[in-house]
Amino acid sequence: MTEERREKFATILCGRKDATWSDLLFKLEELRLKRDAGEVAWVTSCKRQGEGSQVVAFFFWGNRLYCKYAMNRTIVEQIKERLPVNEVIGQYVKLEKSGNAYKTKCPFHNEKTPSFFVSPDRGGYYCFGCNAKGDIFTFVEQFEGLDFRGALKVLAERAGVQLTMDNKADGERDRFYQIMEAATLYFGDQYTRTKDAQTYIKNRGVADKTREEFRIGWAPEGWSNLTTFLKKKGWTENMIEKAGLAKKGDKGDVYDRFRGRVMFPISDSSGRVIAFSGRILKDDGKSAKYLNSPDTPLFDKSRVLYGLDKAKSDIRRMGYSILVEGQMDLVMSHQVGIKNTVASSGTALTDEAISETGAISNLGLVRRLSPNIIIAFDSDSAGRTAAMRAAGIALSMGMDVKIADLVGGLPAGQAGKDPADLVQHNPEDWKNILRGAKPIIEFELGNVMRDVPDPRKIGRALRDRVFPFLARIESRMDQAHFVKMISDKTNISEAAVWDDLKKVKVETAPVVGATQAGTASTGRFGGREGELADSRMLGRGPAATSVEVDGVSGRGSAAGGAPIQLDLISRRLFGLLFHIEKSSPDQGKIYRTKIQKIAGDLYSALIAQVESMINDLAFEAEAVFGSDTKEWDRHMKELIVNFEEDMIGTELISTMNELKQAEKAGNVTRVTELAKKCQALSIRKAEVGKKKRL
């Protein structure tokens, strides 16, 4: 490192040329600068005091300045040594022994026969149906909808390994996690100082241990308590607002979003706080009873359920989930040992199992854990409507849905209470309600028979209230069972029921990850061909991330219409390339030239996406590939081969779609041209495939 370069860094970071490396380091931690600068530079000689194994480095990538906090390079290896891949995956899906490996139905696409294989010897998994592959980290990422750091946290806790990476990582997402954690601690501290909040929680029957487990807190009254606290901790108003903790007024002033509310932190699957739901304590007649965080860079209402991080293990163990409406319903249910309970409050149920960007929805994730669900919403009109909507969504995902009757299933005097009140009065009443839950068709049929005494009007009521659910059931045998039940209870012939049922048209959500239920669907794009195109578009299906092209966020397209996605292979490829270019610039240049040649016209769009997330990619690559530079070349060559195969596959699928359109249009010349191109691409793909086997 030249003195000129050090002085330039010192001037940029500290405003003076004589700043020491220690000054630079701590200033960089404070500011997280991204400034225009010259050539790439990397400093690894600065170690933070008291953390001898942790190296903090800052560097330039293109025209951006970044800070890198290196984790202990043995953590990933320690976790893998303690957690065999078959044991980890076996906690999510049921594995069947097959020689030296294990097999099961793939949790990432729909299939009738197992094509998902787990190899303890190799420490990885591979699906011959959708090409999903990886190790325990990629599996947890994809299955639970987490990023790499989230998966690392989940597996480290499971393995009993203490993470030693610096929590002050420089990525923007990391800073959002930090500010949400700071807010959670603040609300928890305020709870201990506020008698009214403590009295409310105590009166609801919540034990101190339970309150601490769910980190229930208090947002004090006043317009800027939290904002002032966070600003004193170094957070900017812009970050506080973007995190959903504050709002900007008409005059540009920033004020707390949550005021005078009991606070329930909402966490992702790994337990990191990403949002809040606040219940007002003193009703002023104007404010909403519950106020929830808006969508933020961390929080998508359709991708998380309250309490799922604490319920997921019990959902897998028990073989079913319980969906309640309110946070207090969930807290009290967990308190009496019914821990396979999740809540919808503060989130939003969506009828898509998988979004257009490949993100799994909240019910889609629950579906992966178990296809069986009991819905137990409040018994009022709004609760009933919400329960029926949730049931329809769950049925469309191929789930087996039951409804807990909070009215007819309770003794006199208890009917109509919500689950939290039932638990507080007598936990056995709540447990009996769950034991008596009925399949959605049987439940709603009973309601129709009770609500419609006129036999002439029963047919219409069935068409409006029962058949929409019955039509969503995929199994013909299950449908036949309920058709007979309807016929027996209404005296309407089975033939007439079948005739009316056939007239019902419903939109069914794609069932992605139908692991143990044995259900099948047509996939996200409909039909087997659509399923193939979805899962193999750029290699590894569920982990793909959309690329921003020409400044428009969403799915970009190459010439020919093929989506551009930064999948697992691309993430590993560019992450490792980053490290190779640091240690061996000449070799890195060779690899980059090869990648550019393979990507062709897509290269610019890929690089635009890569540069926006280079910190995360570098972190992942460092954790996965370690520090042995001798092994980097071998890994890079394998990644380039896989990358080339994926790119050819993308172009082949796009060309096949063009060919189909040309055939429909009767364009003989175009058909001939595209057929030759498909043949050439197939040959190229086969040749690349041979490289993988050498």
pLDDT tens for residues 185-201?
A: 999 999 999 999 999 99
**β 217-219/124-127 pair status:** unpaired
User: What is the per-residue pLDDT for 288?
Assistant: 87
Rank 85-94, 256-265, 594-603 by mean pLDDT and report only the highest: 256-265
User: What is the per-residue pLDDT for 634?
Assistant: 87
Q: Kindly provide the b/e burial profile for residues 232-241, where b requires at least 16 CB atoms within 10 angstroms of the residue's own CB.
A: eeebeeebbb
CB atoms within 10 A of CB 627: 12
User: What is the per-residue pLDDT for 214?
Assistant: 97
Mean pLDDT, rounded, for 96-117? 86
Mean pLDDT, rounded, for 14-34? 50
For 141-171, the pLDDT digits (tens) are: 888 888 888 888 899 999 888 876 555 445 6
pLDDT band for 396, please (50, 70, 90 cuts): confident
Give CA separation, 387 vs 363, 403, 404, 660, in Å. 13, 8, 10, 43
Question: Which residues, at least 6 apart from 12, have a Cβ–Cβ distance to it below 8 Å?
Answer: 33, 35, 37, 65
User: What is the per-residue pLDDT for 653?
Assistant: 86
**Is the pTM here over 0.85, yes or no?**
no
DSSP, collapsed to helix, strand or coil, labels residue 515 as coil
Please determine, for residue 78, whether its predicted confidence score (pLDDT) is greater than 50. yes
Which alpha helices (DSSP H) does 503-548 contain, by range? Answer: 527-536
User: What is the per-residue pLDDT for 64?
Assistant: 44
User: What is the per-residue pLDDT for 338?
Assistant: 96
Please determine, for residue 340, whether its predicted confidence score (pLDDT) is greater than 80. yes
Give CA separation, 462 vs 471, 472, 589, in Å. 12, 14, 68
Instruction: Please count the CA atoms within 13 angstroms of the CA of 253 that sit on its side-chain side.
Output: 6
- The CA distance from 173 to 140, in Å, is 19
Please determine, for residue 319, whether its predicted confidence score (pLDDT) is greater than 80. yes
Q: Higher pLDDT residue, 538 or 206?
A: 206
- The CA distance from 210 to 331, in Å, is 7
User: What is the per-residue pLDDT for 414?
Assistant: 60
For 406-431, the pLDDT digits (tens) are: 876 556 556 557 899 999 988 999 99
- The CA distance from 130 to 534, in Å, is 9
**β 372-376/321-324 pair status:** parallel
User: What is the per-residue pLDDT for 361?
Assistant: 79
For 547-560, the pLDDT digits (tens) are: 232 332 332 333 33
Rank 26-30, 70-74, 292-296 by mean pLDDT and report only the highest: 292-296
For 447-458, the pLDDT digits (tens) are: 999 999 898 899
- Give the H/E segment covering residue 86: helix 85-90
User: What is the per-residue pLDDT for 679?
Assistant: 84
Question: For residues 254 and 246, is the Cβ–Cβ distance under 8 A?
Answer: yes
Mean pLDDT, rounded, for 614-638? 76
User: What is the per-residue pLDDT for 524?
Assistant: 24
User: What is the per-residue pLDDT for 548?
Assistant: 30
Mean pLDDT, rounded, for 326-354? 85
For 251-272, the pLDDT digits (tens) are: 888 999 999 999 999 999 889 9
User: What is the per-residue pLDDT for 162?
Assistant: 81
Mean pLDDT, rounded, for 565-592? 85
For 465-524, the pLDDT digits (tens) are: 999 999 999 888 999 999 999 999 999 999 999 999 988 876 544 444 433 333 322 222
Q: What percent of the chain has pLDDT over 70?
A: 75
Q: What are the backbone angles phi and psi of residue 556, rounded to the nearest 5°?
A: -75, 175
- The CA distance from 118 to 131, in Å, is 13
User: What is the per-residue pLDDT for 410?
Assistant: 58
- In the predicted model, what is the mean pLDDT of the chain? 78
Mean pLDDT, rounded, for 621-645? 82
